[in-house]
A and B are shown apart, each in its own frame.
Chain A
Amino acid sequence: MELSVESRGNYVYRKAKSDLMMGVTVAATVVTLLPLFLILGYLIVKGAASVNWAFFTHMPAPVGEKGGGMANAIVGTLEVVAIACMIGVPLGIGAGLYLAENRGARYSSAIRFAADVMMGVPSIVVGIFIYGVVVHPMGGFSAIAGSIALAVIMIPLVTRTTEEIIVLIPHELREASLALGVPQWRTSLSVIVRSAMSGIATGVILAIARVAGETAPLLFTAFGNNFFSTSVAQPISTLTVQVYTYAISPFPDWQRQAWAGALVLTVIVLALELGVRWFTGGPAKSAH
């Protein structure tokens, strides 16, 4: 009997300790999510006041002048990201298709490994690389250099998600197509890629969301531009670089614009993320 009383006291202690530790994990989750709500809250409070029609249609105002907008940066981000997609998406999907169709091959393991390593390369290093192979030979900063830098970041992301989605397509589908006498390449493109299309699109959109928020690889590739430019051979302004420049400036007007730019940027990126999850039903695993 004594034993049971003792073990009962012991149990109360153990239970209390367990509840405490598990409570700590809940607290950790709450504290982790706190910055998310704080950041979104501050963006809305500080940014919404400066987001107006002029913000989307006007050019940046010189120091000391009120108003102005980020029309050039918004167009620049769209252009740079769009060109990055034209380069990165077909490359990434093609590479992913290769990996999925030759899963066992040693060469495809090497490519898969390289893609994983590429995902871990700091984006600023990609910026230096593109500076060396595009900016320097071309003799100056350009929109196309920024696009290529973002494409280099996109390619491994798109490749790996494409592969993972295609592998999930039932093998019977491929066999049925081959049995009907459809050549392999038609089977891959019209049956396999077609069936995997929504998954691949999800991966592409998540990759777009990821690169649209990149600043570091654009600093010395696309560089930035105070004027309106859509030429791929000229430096171009982007939302991220503009927010960076304004945020570290000492001028309150510019800092206000930085909050507005950050709000627009965050809304774009989160809309892409949320939109994808909404359409694919449930939280899909993102391609980190």
Chain B
Amino acid sequence: MLSDLGTSVAENVAVIQREQRRIRVHVRLFGDRVFNLVTIALGSTILLLLAALAVVLIVKSTPSIEKFGLSFLVTSDWDPVNDVYGALPFIYGTVVSSAIALLIAVPMSLGVALCLSEMAPDWLSRRLGFLVDLLAAIPSVVYGLWAIFVLGPWLRDHVESSLGTYLGFLPIFTGPHVSVGMLTAGVVLAIMVIPYISSVCTDVFRLVPQTQREAAFALGATRWEMVRMAVLPYGLTGVIGAIILGLGRALGETIAVAMVIGNSPQISKSLFAPAATLASVIANEFAEATSDMYVSALIELGLVLLGVGIVLNVIARLLVAAVAQRRFGEER
């Protein structure tokens, strides 16, 4: 009788303990579930933001898209007074200023990247890389300010005059020398994108296996021959990716360009002349745009910028990722 009672108490205790454990497990699973839901929701906001970005720009530019259609992209009348808008001068300005920037920035960035990865000893390379990174940290409004008062006048007095004297037979180097214009904007952009291109290139060159370099040296190659035989071919895909990434930066850069390009919606053959880019015209005119069609046309410019930016960025990242992939594929 007594022992009977004992077992049933023990059984009850066991049951209670089992139930308590079960509840605790449930509470824990509940906590995990809430936690997972919260993080997945936070992660999803990024997808939502990107989607909302595209949708808002498309919806807001619909009036302009419907009115002008594809001719928006190929006509060059930008006339807020008569509510007629064509984006060609800005597309031209964006393409040309970015082209000037890349023409200067690509060789310079390759030079910097090779110097950091192949020439400089480790301690120096890290410090130089740090300084190049600082160049990327300077706000673009500061670049713009410096370009208005220092770089622009210097280019006008020294570079434009010699280009005009010696290469003046080319139509792109004709016309009056002014401190604000396409050339100044291109040079500022070049200075601004070099840190981006060179830091990706440096990373890419550092991924080149040491064995490739040693093999080239063992064949009797000089350092430069080693670079051409081993480093450049191996990193080519990544370098192209870096250049496209830099191009994406240059296309979208707004403030520094708006400050020095002169903001005139015209296509002129001379690089000394003022121009405007997609981003600079938005910065200049958006807050003052009065008619709905005007705002809509400006937003459509933003939509063009967004589309081109996304495409370039995706291509660039795929190319850079391909290099890293190949490296790690070989090591496996």
Residues in chain A within 8 A of chain B (CB atoms): 14-15, 17-22, 24-29, 31-33, 35-36, 38-39, 42-43, 46, 90-91, 94-95, 97-99, 101, 107-108, 110-111, 114-129, 131-133, 152, 155-156, 159, 183-186, 188-189, 209-210, 212-216, 219-220, 223, 240, 243-244, 247-248, 255, 258-259, 262, 265-266, 269-270, 273, 277, 282-283, 286, 288
Contacts and interface: CB of A to CB of B under 8 A. Distances in A.
B312 A120 contact: yes
Interface of B: 28, 31-32, 34-36, 38-47, 49-50, 52-53, 56-57, 59-60, 107-112, 114-116, 118-119, 126-146, 148-150, 191, 194, 196, 198-199, 222-225, 227, 245, 248, 251-255, 259, 279, 282-283, 286-287, 298-299, 302, 305-306, 309-310, 312-314, 316-317
Contacts of A223: 287
A182 to B, nearest CB: 9
B137 A209 contact: yes
Given A32-B194, A94-B38, A156 B46 contact: yes
Contact of A124 (B38, B47, B139, B302): B302
Contacts of B41: 94
B45 A213 contact: no
Contacts of A248: 148, 259
Contact of B43 (A18, A99, A122, A213): A99
A15 B220 CA distance: 11
Contact of B224 (A22, A101, A120, A156): A22
Contact of A22 (B129, B223, B298): B223
A112 B289 CA distance: 36
Contacts of B287: 219-220, 223
A126 B279 CA distance: 12
Contact of A117 (B50, B130, B223, B254): B50
26 contacts: A29-B132, A42-B149, A94-B43, A95-B39, A97-B39, A110-B47, A114-B46, A116-B317, A118-B50, A120-B245, A124-B283, A125-B252, A128-B286, A129-B53, A129-B56, A152-B49, A189-B35, A213-B137, A215-B140, A215-B141, A219-B286, A244-B141, A244-B259, A283-B126, A286-B136, A288-B196
Contact of B305 (A25, A125, A259): A125
From A91, A95, A107, name the one whose CB has the most chain B CB atoms within 10 angstroms.
Answer: A95
B273 to A, nearest CB: 19
A185 B53 contact: no
Given A124-B282, A125-B306, 8 more contacts: A28-B111, A38-B150, A95-B45, A97-B42, A183-B32, A243-B142, A262-B145, A273-B137
B43 A95 contact: yes
B191 A35 contact: yes
Given A120-B312, A214-B139, A42 B146 contact: yes
Smallest CB-CB A-B distances: 8 pairs: A28-B111, A122-B252, A213-B139, A120-B313, A94-B42, A185-B35, A18-B222, A18-B224
Contacts of A155: 45-46, 49
A86 to B, nearest CB: 14
Given A114-B47, A215-B139, A247-B148, A128 B302 contact: yes
Contact of B141 (A46, A107, A108, A262): A262
Contact of B254 (A14, A33, A124): A124
Given A15-B222, A185-B31, A270 B137 contact: yes
Contacts of A188: 35
Contacts of A129: 52-53, 56-57
Given A128-B299, A215-B140, A98 B42 contact: yes
B111 A24 contact: yes
Contacts of A26: 115, 119
B327 to A, nearest CB: 17
Nearest to A272: B137
B145 A243 contact: yes
A118 B138 contact: no
A266 B139 CA distance: 7
A133 B145 contact: no
Given A29-B111, A213-B140, A184 B35 contact: yes
A269 B139 contact: yes
From A118, A126, A209, name the one whose CB has the most chain B CB atoms within 10 angstroms.
Answer: A118
B282 A29 contact: no
From A26, A156, A185, name the one whose CB has the most chain B CB atoms within 10 angstroms.
Answer: A185
From A132, A255, A266, A277, name the one whose CB has the most chain B CB atoms within 10 angstroms.
Answer: A132
A38 B252 CA distance: 25
Nearest to B49: A152
B140 A258 contact: no
B115 A29 contact: yes
Contacts of A126: 53
Contacts of A212: 139
From B108, B149, B222, B223, name the one whose CB has the most chain A CB atoms within 10 angstroms.
Answer: B222
Contact of A125 (B49, B57, B146): B57
Given A128-B57, A131-B286, A262-B145, A111 B222 contact: no
Given A18-B224, A216-B255, A247-B148, A43 B142 contact: yes
Given A120-B313, A185-B32, A213-B141, A111 B148 contact: no
A103 B254 CA distance: 35
Given A97-B39, A123-B254, A125-B252, A32 B129 contact: no
Nearest to A282: B126
A186 B35 CA distance: 9
From A127, A129, A152, A269, name the one whose CB has the most chain B CB atoms within 10 angstroms.
Answer: A129
